[in-house]
Amino acid sequence: MSNALNAIIPYATLRMHSVNQLSNEECANAIANHLQSSNKFMQNDPTSERFRMETLRAMPQCLTVKRSVKSQLLATVNRRTKKKSISYWKWLKYNISLKIAKIWVTVQNTLLTMELWHQMIKTIESHNGSGVATYFKFLRWLLLLNIISCILSMFFIVLPQSLNQTHIPNNIKVLDFLTGSASLEHYNNKRTELYVTVIRNHTVAATVIGTLFVFWIINSTSHCWQTKLGEEIYRLIILDFIASIFGMCFQFIRSMLYKKLSTKIGKPEFNIARNTLNLIYNQTLFWMGFYFSPLISLIIVIKLIFTFYIKRYELKKCYRQPSQPWRAAQTQTLFLALAFIGMIIMLLTIGYIITNVKSDDCGPFRNYSHTWDFIINGILSLKRDSKFWSIVSELARPVTGAAIYFGTSETVYCLRAKTKASKEMLQILSNMLLLQSQDKQFLMKSFAKFANERTFVHSEMNFIQHASSTEQNHENEEIVLSRRRNLPSTSFEERL
Amino acid sequence: MGAGKSQFTEEELQDYQDLTYFTKKEVLYAHQKFKALAPEKVGHNRNAKLPMSKILQYPELRVNPFGDRICKVFSSSQDGDCTFEDFLDMMSVFSDAAPKAVKAEHAFRIFDFDGDDMLGVGDLRQVIDRLTAPQRLNDNDMQQLLQYILDEADLDDDGALSFAEFEHIIEKSSDFSKSFRIRL
């Protein structure tokens, strides 16, 4: 729309009002004249009419000007073509489509404000910048994800199990140990700092989870090892939560001290990278523990809700404004990628456990040597003509697989092509901008040069006039005039 | 309550609907809001010109650090005093329906304090000062912030943001249209 507008009225902009001191009427006349010169624009049909109105609406001019332009255009259109009103059906069609568009905008708005913690995150974003808001948005996203898995596990695992009274997961135990939190490092470059923090925290988290897993898989002969692993993950999650509460107290004390002795201790700053990585660590733990103890989903949901309020409180009370600007969009992508990698690794590990690690004598799969056997048995025991079986066999057909694979590849290909094209366009546009500004600078320089030359000619003229005798006067004036004629004279110069 | 009849004719309302991003109903609602600022004056003349101080009593403008700039940009007499049509213009640009390009154009004008069609260092400094209003950034921080802004946005390195550069930055911030709005 704006491009179309620019093509039609290149000068219809508010910004230039200090340069062209036109009155409202002159301005309206100029715009109307310009618009009327386009034949396509002045057609007397509903599409053109709508386009005209949209153009007028988007024009950054005041209402008086717009109204005058509108009446002029209307008069011209009516003069050019015999008046032909739109048919009732068309009018109805346009009205309805307009109404639908309006309703859609309203619905979108309401949905947006109904989003969880919408107002709070907005406030955080306005007070602490988009970088900090990234953390909270990521937290919200994880929470919604976990709520879904919580509901699924509650309805399909925990509830049926407790009704059946077969196996009730019992891994709620008193905590027995606590650890401290990591220390801060300082780097000159904020980006390097971010990446170093990301790598360090991620390595620590990966080591913790990896060690735990390897230990239990090696010891998978011990009694009820799945339950124990579930317990341990549960403990890690709770511990992490307690650590964050202690962290808040620590930060609170630190900011109190800062208020008292302001110079000695620096006011703490909200570390987006560390906090977000903590979330990812937490989420990886959840994905890992979810298989062994479905109740973890409920704990995670509660924990995330608490974390949101704790962090919000911390942010309000303890932290100073982030000293560096933050590239929110790129960071968001990095975090999503890390969360995705964590999930893939967890899926692979759980896949390995299901297929290759012997299940032992407790838990729902105690009668099978591997969990995978249970799945195979379950599928094989299905009746051939049952609905589920037909769906499964339909899905398992190579054609379906190929179709899904093909569809996905196609989508990925299209999206990639689009990204590439956008990137190229961006490059072209920024080059164009650069070129334009160079043109401008060149013009300004040559203009300054000409202006200088002109003052030089003026002084030369004065000098000549002084030196010349009366009989030479006529001749000299001719020379000067011929010289002046060679100089470009622009209206812009005159104005200066 | 007193005005049983609308102060506008059907044609006028149609005009407003065509030229702004409002429906006729919303135009009337906007007029109610305008009237509430100075009931006596507007009741007498529906398009009365209200002084800037009155317009700034509009709740959203009162808390806005750029309230006076907004008034000046939309004022047809350019001194900040607004008639109803100026007010309607303002509300229309700040409404949800107004496209990003229109909003960007006006935002640029609001930030362009000296009116030289460029956001120079002086303009940016004023913008930041107003945003951080009760406190002031110290010179060092301010210098650094300005440098960041120019590093990010000033593509041609002329030390100021042209409209194209400003628009480019606006394009990148997806939240702009959501934050550049006033609910009627």
pLDDT tens per residue across span A78-113: 777 655 566 788 888 888 888 888 788 778 777 776
* Cα–Cα distance measured from residue B183 to residue B181, given in angstroms and rounded to the nearest whole number: 7
- Asked if the model's pLDDT at residue A27 lies above 70, the reply is yes
Q: Which residue is closest to A437 within chain B, CA to CA? A: B156
- Record: contact A18-B116, CB cut-off 8 A: yes
Does B143 lie in the same domain as B78?
no
Whether residue B112 has pLDDT greater than 80: yes
Helix %, strand %, coil % for chain A, to 5?
Answer: 75, 0, 20
Number of H helices, E strands in chain A: 17, 0
Q: How confident is the model at residue A416 (pLDDT cuts 50, 70, 90)?
A: very high
Query: What's the pLDDT at A327?
Result: 60
Asked if the structure places residue A216 within a domain, the reply is yes
A80 φ/ψ sector (left φ>0, alpha ψ -120 to 50, else beta)? alpha
The confidence score (pLDDT) of residue A308 equals 92
Among B67, B98, B129, which residue terminates a domain? B98
A contacts of B95 (beta carbons < 8 Å): none
In a domain, B6, yes or no: no
φ/ψ of residue B63, rounded to 5: -90, -5
In this predicted model, which residue has the larger pLDDT, A411 or A464? A411
The A residues from 109 to 138 touching B (CB cutoff 8 Å) are 109, 112, 125, 130
Question: With 70 as the cut, is the pLDDT of residue B67 above it?
Answer: yes
Read off the pLDDT of residues B18-63 as tens digits, 9 standing for 90 and up: 889 988 888 888 998 899 898 888 888 888 899 999 999 888 888 8
* C-beta neighbour count of A140 within 10 angstroms: 18
Is A327 touching B (CB cutoff 8 A)?
Answer: no
| CB nearest to B21's CB, from A18, A57, A433 | A57
Q: Do B88 and B40 fall into the same domain?
A: yes
Q: Is residue A29 predicted with pLDDT exceeding 90? A: no
Query: Is A63 in the B-facing interface, judged by CB distances under 8 Å?
Result: yes
Residue A477 within a domain: no
Distinct helix (H) and strand (E) counts, chain B:
12, 0
Chain B residues whose C-beta sits inside 8 Å of any chain A C-beta: 15-16, 18-21, 23, 73-74, 76, 85-86, 88-89, 96-97, 99, 101-102, 105-106, 108-109, 112, 115-117, 148, 152, 155-156, 158, 162-165, 168, 175, 178
CB–CB of B15/A70 below 8 Å?
A: yes
**A101-105, A176-180, A214-218, A273-277: which has the minimum mean pLDDT?**
A176-180
Same domain? For B57 and B39 the reply is yes
Whether A198 shows a pLDDT value over 50: the answer reads: yes
Calpha distance B145→B148 (Å, rounded): 5
Q: How far apart are CA B182 and CA B184, in angstroms?
A: 6
Residues B109 and B37 in one domain: no
pLDDT value at A156 more than 80: yes
The answer, yes or no, to whether residue A167 has pLDDT greater than 80, is no
CA dihedral A316, A318, A324, A328 (to 10 degrees): -40
Statement to judge: residues A347 and A292 lie in one domain:
yes
**For A261-281, what is each residue's pLDDT tens digit?**
766 666 677 777 778 888 888
Spell out which residues of chain B touch residue A130, defining contact as CB-CB under 8 Å.
175
Assess whether pLDDT exceeds 60 at residue A175. no
Q: Answer yes or no: do B76 and A441 touch at CB < 8 A.
A: no
In order, the DSSP letters of A74-108 are: HHHHHHHS---PPPHHHHHHHHHHHHHHHHHHHHH
Among chain A residues, the shortest Cα distance to B154 is held by A434
Asked, for residue A448, whether it belongs to a domain, the answer is yes
The pLDDT assigned to A180 comes to: 29
Q: Please check whether residue B92 lies inside any domain of the structure.
A: yes
Q: Is the confidence at residue B126, as pLDDT, over 50?
A: yes
Cα dihedral A408, A335, B174, B26 sign = positive
- Split at pLDDT 50, 70, 90, the class of B69 is very high
Residues A70 and A53 in one domain: yes
What is the residue-averaged pLDDT of chain A? Answer: 74
Q: Is the pLDDT of residue A134 over 70?
A: yes
Domain, as residue range, for A99: 84-114
- How much is the pLDDT for A417? 95
> Mean of the per-residue pLDDT values for chain B?
86
Query: How many domains would you assign to chain B?
Result: 2
A433–B contact, CB cutoff 8 A = yes
Domain end (from B59, B75, B98): B98
Using the Cβ of A267 and the Cβ atoms of chain B, whether some distance falls under 8 Å is answered with no
Phi, psi of A129 (to 5 degrees): 90, 160
Q: Answer yes or no: are the C-beta atoms of A23 and A65 closer than 8 Å.
A: no
Whether B2 is in a domain gets the answer no
Least confident of A106-120, A160-174, A219-233: A160-174
In a domain, A365, yes or no: yes
Please report residues of A whose CB lies closer than 8 A to that of B161.
none
Residue A135 domain-assigned (yes or no): yes
Q: Which residue has the higher pLDDT, A21 or B115?
A: B115
Q: Which positions in chain B touch A53 (Cβ < 8 Å)?
A: 18-19
| pLDDT tens-digit series, residues A44-76 | 777 778 788 888 888 878 888 888 888 888 888
Residues B60, B34, single domain; the answer is: yes
pLDDT grade for B70, boundaries at 50, 70 and 90: very high
- Are the CB atoms for A275 and A138 separated by under 8 Å? no
Q: Taking CB atoms and an 8 Å limit, are B155 and A109 in contact across chains? A: no
- pLDDT at position A240 over 60: yes
Which residue of B136, B156, B176 to mutate against A (max A Cβ within 10 Å)?
B156
Same domain? A210 vs A346: yes
**Same-domain check for residues A215 and A91:** no
Residues A128 and A236 in one domain: yes
**Looking at the structure, do residues A133 and A255 belong to the same domain, yes or no?**
yes
Residue A304 vs residue B3, higher pLDDT: A304
A128 contacts: CB under 8 Å, gap ≥ 6: A270, A315, A319, A321, A322
Closest CA to A444 of B156, B113, B152: B156
Average pLDDT over residues A246-256: 84
Under an 8 A CB cutoff, do B155 and A64 touch? Answer: no
The reply to whether A186 falls in a domain is no
Cβ proximity of B69 and B127 under 8 Å: no
Domain count, chain A: 4
B102 to chain A nearest CA, in Å?
Answer: 6
> Which range scores top for mean pLDDT: A117-121, B3-7, B47-51?
B47-51
Q: Do A58 and B117 touch (CB under 8 A)?
A: no
Q: Is residue B1 part of a domain?
A: no
B81 and B160 in a single domain? The answer is no
> CB A57 to CB B89 under 8 A?
no
Q: Is the pLDDT of residue B106 over 70?
A: yes
Residue A176, token pair as written in the block: 């027995």
For residue A54, which of B99, B105, B91, B60 has the smallest C-alpha distance? B99
So what's the pLDDT on residue A482?
Answer: 42
Q: What ipTM does the predicted assembly reach?
A: 0.81
0.80 exceeded by the pTM?
A: no
CATH code at B136?
1.10.238.10
The percent of residues in chain A predicted with pLDDT above 70, rounded, is 73
Residue A240 lies in a domain: yes
> Using CB atoms, which residue from B23, B96, B109 is nearest to A14?
B109
Indicate the residue of A15, A58, A67 with minimum beta-carbon distance to B15: A67
Place of tokens 């304090």: B113
- Number of Cβ within 10 Å of residue A125's Cβ equals 19
Indicate if A297 and A338 belong to the same structural domain.
Answer: yes
Annotate A416-448 with DSSP letters as a single string: HHHHHHHHHHHHHHHHHHHHHHHHHHHHHHHHH
**A325 chain-B contacts, CB cut-off 8 A:** 148, 152
Q: Are B91 and B107 within one domain?
A: no
Question: Which residues on adjacent β-strands are paired with residue A370?
Answer: A358
Q: Would the CB atoms of B168 and A2 count as touching at under 8 Å?
A: no
Instruction: Answer yes or no: do A405 and A257 share one domain.
Output: no
Give the Cα separation of B112 and A49 in Å (integer): 34
> How many A×B Cβ pairs under 8 Å?
86
* Mean pLDDT, residues A185-197: 64
Q: Do A325 and B99 touch (CB under 8 A)?
A: no
pLDDT top residue among A477 and A368: A368
Which structural domain range is residue B158 located in? 99-183
Among B98, B132, B157, residue at a domain's last position: B98
Same domain? For A281 and A143 the reply is yes
Q: What is the pLDDT of residue A320?
A: 67
Q: How far is CA A18 from CA A68, A200, A215, B87, in A?
A: 21, 56, 75, 21
Give the nearest chain A residue to B118 (CA atoms): A15
Q: Is the pLDDT of residue A469 over 50?
A: no
